[in-house]
Structures are given as C-alpha cells and as structure tokens.
C-alpha cells in the first residue's frame, strides 16, 4: 500500500465521523488566502522532495533564507518605527529606544512631509506632527539626528514621493558630521507604485515618479553602496485588505516594474539589484505567514535569474523588513494586541526576516507611549534571547504543511504576476485599477466574514466585555504647528534668496532633461531650500497625479 493509499484509508476510517460533527460549523478549513488546509499534510502534497526548490540556506533559490547561518551569526535588526511632533521630540524617542536595546532607527514622517508640503503651507494646517515627525528643512533633519552616529546606526525612512529629497537631507547631515556617504547604512522606502495602489501619499504622475526612483538607484550605486535604495512594500497592500497571496504577487509585480525601469534607463541589473529590499506584513495566520515569506524569496530569486538574467547571487536575494499587522490591532481589549503582535513577530522570525518592527498594543487608540513601545521591543528581545527559535537556521523546513503552503502561495502569486504581465506590467495594471479592485474585493470578503462571525476576532465579535480603557496616553502638543512655522520663517530670513531662486531654476531645468536630480537635491538642501519648495518646483514641471476611476 502506498503512502497516499494509506493516508486515504486512515482519513476514511478515522476522520469521517469526527468531521461530521463540524460540518455545520465549517466544512472547509482554509487560510486567509483561501488555500485549503488538509487535515494532515503528507509529502505528496508538496514539491519538497525536489532539492532545487528547497535548497540550502544562503543559496539559490533562497527558500530557506538569504544568509547561510541566519540568526546564528547575526540577529535581525530590531527597528521600531517612530516619529511624532517635532524633530527634537522624535530625537528623544530615538535616544530612549536605543538605550532600551533597539538596533536600528525607523523614521515616521507626518502627512505634509510625505506629500511634499512645508509645515507653514496652508494645506498642512492641523496635520503637523500628527502621524509622524515634521521635516521641512535640513535644520529639522539635523535636530532629528542630533547626537546619533550615522556611521554606526542603520536608519530606515518611510518616505516615498519625496524620497530623494529626504535622502539628500540625510546625506547632508552625515557630511556635516564628517561621515562620507559610502559609510551610510539604511533604507529609503521609495516605493511609489504601492502609493497609487493602496496608500495615497503620491505627488507626481507615475512616469515622473519612476524617473526619481531610478535616479536614486543610479546615485546610490555609485555613491552610497551600503544603502538599500528601495523597500518594495507589500505591507500597505496587506493593510488595505489584500490576502497573503495578493501581497506577494502585487509586491513582486511592483518590484519587476522598478527593475525594468532601471534597466530601461541604462543601468546594469547587477549594479543596482543588490541594493533592493522589500517590506512585508506579518499577519495573524501563523503558518501561512511563515510560508509566505519563503514563497516570496523563492519566487523573486527565479524572477531575477530567469527574467532579468542577474548573475550575482546578491541580485537574486529577497531581503526584507517586516512589521506586524496594524490592521489586526483592536481598540477593544487592547492588551490582546500584545499577544497578536507576539505571534506575528514569531512568524516573521521563523520566516527569515532581516529586520522587524513590532507594533505597540495601544496603536489602535493613539500614539504609543514609552511603556507600550518598550513592551513591543521587549517582545522581539524575548523571541531573540529566550525562545530558542533563532538557534535553528530554518526551524520549520521540511514540515509537510509549511512546504505545501509555500508551494500554494508561490503558485497563486505566479498566476497573478502572469495576469499583470499580460496587461503590460504593474504600471498599466495600476492605471487600470486592477490591483486596487482585487484588494477591495478581498477586503470586502474579509469584513463580511467578520460580520457573519465566520472569522472570530477576539474581543470584537466574540468574547466581548464592557470595560473602560485605562491606559496612559501620549498627546501631540498643538503648539508645535506654530513652533514649526516660526522656525521656517527664521530659516528663510537667514538664507540667501538669490541662491535659492537660482537653485530652484536649476531644478526646473533639470527636471525637463534626464539629468540625475539627486546631486542637485543635496546642493539645494545644503543651501536651505525646503522640501516644499523643491516639490513645488517639480509640481510646476511634472504636474500632480490625478487617480482615474477603477476598471
């Protein structure tokens, strides 16, 4: 009797009666992506028997991790996302987190900064410092990074449309500290396609935005070689309601578009590809999430080698940051969020992440306090130093179910990517609203499942209690808006207006050519041209993106 026949006989004999009891509750067990879960997995349900698909850690196709020894030689970077109020306030939070054992910075910018407006612009009123730190000028960036040794700390900046300008400010601050750009380590998100798909903090039309991205690729390849020039983000796609399969598919489709745009601009794939990175969500379905990370690595390796003919192994490695799922946090019984975050963080670690942010339990209510941020960081540290999980390079490799889920996610994501290719690529799919509609449909289905109680959310639709929320609260001082305006007014009085005018004219002229804009951005910020002024100059040349109706 074969293994498959033995399994079928066992299922018929043992499970039939037991499963009858559950038919009225749920006839089909599946992941959040709709992948059917067998009662027990066997080898013939996955392709794990093929060594070229599983491979070894640190070797193509990187299913088991991008480093040969993974966390045995170096733990993931513990990078807590933080930013609020003024640059000085956020600098104090960074100092606190570094004192508590954080190993990398992650900068959250407020909405005006994200869409290229200075703090004194009328459109920014009421939003200064609310969901991140307010950065309008080099002076703000200097305050943000005061007393932080930029040649020793890795910094991630979650900024997209004006990414090149914020990177220019970071480089300018480093130069003032006497640090050469070649020594800087970090990541700039710089992923504009997902802004059109899921998040909305775009400025310029897609083609102009893609030009800025390839300018950053080229400049950093030559001048800032340790910097990750993009963090292709599935995180916000998942937060908008995508399934795990859609998160992988749409993220990698965007990655394909960026690589192709860079090649079309004349760059060699192996010159810039090793500096690409990714950003994924760690959601609630523990085993599916682990498999998702493995599938994404394997699929990207094949894309880079087979589609783009990358020769360097580093060009085929999908290195990624993970953040636990903000959309799963609940305002009800917020202490439960600490448990959710622990499971999500563990999935990210077992899936092989390179860096990790753990959300604070009170983030569904307000800006996290120092105490809740510390607990979120301690969650990572307990996994790192007490759980024993990092001691094994790939602890779940060979699990029949994990390998089955990895194959299924890869298969589903590949089908989506082929569909997007047939449309003409991610840029056209975005313009047609294809990915947006797929995400909306998935989000609607998930919400209906919660409303029908087919999906239990503890404390929300089951196990509810009536209680008053009694947690410490952090508030942003509304006076910071006037403070930021006064600071900008003083800056404009001190600088050379003729020089500023000349530099803005040069930006306008360069934007109409193929000149790389990053060196000019650095020169501008060093002469105190503000973020809003640079973006306004580019808006005058390129215009603003106006979203089209969905297909």
pLDDT of residue 222: 96
Nearest to 93 by CA among 166, 169, 149, 144: 144
3-state secondary structure 19-69: HHCCCCCCCCCECCCCCECCCCCCHHHCCCCCHHHHCCCCCCCCCCCCCCC
> Exposed, middle or buried: residue 31 (CB in 10 Å: 0-12, 13-18, 19+)?
buried
pLDDT digits (tens, 9 = 90+) for 340-360: 999 999 999 999 999 999 999
pLDDT of residue 476: 73
Please give the Cα distance from 225 to 232 (Å, whole number).
18
Does 99 sit behind a cis peptide bond, omega within 30 degrees of 0 on the bond before it?
Answer: no
Helix then strand then coil, % of the chain, to nearest 5: 55, 10, 40
Q: Which residues are CB-neighbours of 493 under 8 A, at least 6 positions away?
A: none
Question: Strand runs (DSSP E) across 207-313, as ranges?
Answer: 227-228, 230-233, 276-282
- Residue 230 pairs in a beta bridge with 276
Average pLDDT, the chain: 93
Q: In terms of residues, how long is the chain?
A: 551
pLDDT tens, per residue, the chain with 551 residues: 676 677 677 667 666 666 565 554 556 788 989 998 887 777 766 665 556 678 899 999 999 999 999 999 999 999 988 899 899 999 999 999 999 999 999 999 999 999 999 999 999 999 999 989 999 999 999 999 999 999 999 999 999 999 999 999 999 999 999 999 999 999 999 999 999 999 899 999 999 999 999 999 999 999 999 999 999 999 999 999 999 999 999 999 999 999 999 999 999 999 999 999 999 999 999 999 999 999 999 999 999 999 999 999 999 999 999 999 999 999 999 999 999 999 999 999 999 999 999 999 999 998 899 999 999 999 999 999 999 999 999 999 989 999 999 999 999 999 999 999 999 999 999 999 999 999 999 999 999 999 999 999 999 999 999 888 777 777 777 888 999 999 999 999 999 999 999 999 999 999 999 999 999 999 999 999 999 999 999 999 999 998 875 44
Contact by Cβ (8 Å): 439, 241: yes
What tokens does 468 get?
């008053």
Nearest to 231 by CA among 198, 189, 197, 202: 189
Please give the Cα distance from 131 to 175 (Å, whole number).
28
314: number of Cβ within 10 Å = 14
Domains of the chain, each with CATH number or no CATH: 51-390+398-451 (3.20.20.240)
Across the chain, how many H-helices and E-strands are there?
22, 9
Contact by Cβ (8 Å): 281, 239: yes
DSSP structural state of residue 529: -
3-state secondary structure 282-347: ECCCHHHHHHHHHHHHHHHHHHHHHHCCCCCHHHHCCCEEEEECHHHCCCCCCCHHHHHHHHHHHH
pLDDT of residue 471: 73
For helices 531-542 and 163-176, give the axis angle rounded to 10 degrees: 150
Q: What DSSP element (H or E) covers 158?
A: strand 154-158
Please give the Cα distance from 395 to 54 (Å, whole number).
13
Distances (CA, A) of 416 to 372, 420, 550: 39, 6, 18
Distances (CA, A) of 54 to 45, 58, 295, 309, 505: 15, 11, 10, 21, 55
pLDDT digits (tens, 9 = 90+) for 234-277: 999 999 999 999 999 999 999 999 999 999 999 999 999 999 99
Please give the Cα distance from 395 to 400 (Å, whole number).
13
Whole-prediction pTM: 0.92
């Amino acid at each position: 009797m074969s293994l498959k026949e033995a399994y079928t006989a066992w299922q018929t004999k043992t499970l039939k009666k037991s499963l009858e009891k559950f038919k009225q509750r749920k006839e089909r067990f599946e992941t959040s992506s709709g992948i059917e879960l067998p009662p027990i997995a066997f080898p013939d349900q996955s392709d794990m028997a093929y060594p070229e698909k599983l491979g070894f850690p640190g070797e193509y196709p990187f299913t088991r991790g991008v480093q040969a020894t993974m966390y045995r030689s170096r733990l993931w970077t513990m990078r807590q996302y933080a930013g609020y109020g003024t640059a000085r306030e956020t600098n104090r939070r960074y100092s606190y987190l570094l004192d508590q054992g954080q190993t990398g910075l992650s900068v959250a910018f407020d909405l005006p900064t994200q869409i290229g407006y200075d703090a004194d612009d009328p459109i920014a009123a009421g939003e200064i410092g609310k969901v991140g730190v307010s950065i309008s000028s080099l002076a703000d960036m200097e305050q943000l990074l005061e007393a932080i040794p930029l040649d020793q700390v890795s910094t991630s900046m979650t900024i997209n449309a004006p990414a090149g300008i914020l990177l220019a400010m970071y480089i300018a601050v480093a130069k003032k500290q006497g640090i050469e750009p070649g020594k800087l380590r970090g990541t700039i998100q710089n992923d504009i396609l997902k802004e059109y798909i899921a998040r909305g903090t775009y400025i310029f039309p897609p083609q102009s935005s893609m030009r800025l991205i390839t300018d950053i690729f080229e400049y950093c390849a030559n001048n800032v070689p340790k910097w990750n020039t993009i963090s292709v983000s599935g995180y916000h796609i998942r937060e908008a309601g995508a399934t795990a399969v859609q998160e992988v598919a749409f993220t990698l489709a965007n990655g394909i578009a960026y690589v192709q745009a860079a090649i079309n601009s004349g760059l060699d794939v192996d010159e810039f590809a090793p500096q690409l990175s990714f950003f994924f969500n760690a959601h609630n379905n523990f085993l599916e999430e682990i498999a998702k990370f493995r599938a994404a690595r394997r699929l990207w390796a094949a894309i880079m080698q087979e589609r783009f003919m990358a020769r360097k192994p580093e060009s085929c490695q999908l290195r990624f940051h993970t953040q636990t799922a903000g959309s799963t946090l609940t305002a009800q019984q917020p202490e439960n969020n600490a448990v959710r975050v622990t499971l999500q963080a563990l999935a990210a670690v077992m899936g092989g992440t390179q860096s990790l942010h753990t959300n604070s339990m009170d983030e569904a209510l307000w800006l996290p306090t120092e105490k809740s941020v510390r607990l979120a960081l301690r969650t990572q540290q307990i996994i790192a130093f007490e759980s024993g999980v990092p001691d094994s390079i790939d602890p779940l490799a060979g699990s029949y179910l994990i390998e089955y889920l990895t194959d299924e996610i890869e298969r589903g994501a590949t089908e989506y990517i082929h569909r997007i290719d047939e449309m003409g690529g991610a840029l056209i799919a975005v313009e047609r609203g294809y990915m947006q509609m797929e995400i909306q449909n998935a989000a609607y289905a998930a919400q209906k499942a919660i409303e029908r109680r087919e999906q239990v959310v503890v404390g929300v639709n089951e196990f509810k209690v009536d209680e008053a929320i009694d947690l410490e609260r952090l508030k942003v001082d509304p006076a910071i808006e006037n403070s930021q305006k006064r600071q900008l007014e003083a800056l404009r009085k001190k600088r050379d207006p003729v020089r500023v005018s000349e530099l803005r004219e040069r930006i306008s002229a360069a934007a109409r050519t193929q000149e790389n804009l990053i060196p000019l951005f650095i020169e501008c910020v060093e002469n105190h041209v503000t973020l809003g002024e640079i973006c306004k100059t580019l808006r005058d040349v390129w215009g603003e993106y106006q979203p089209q109706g969905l297909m």
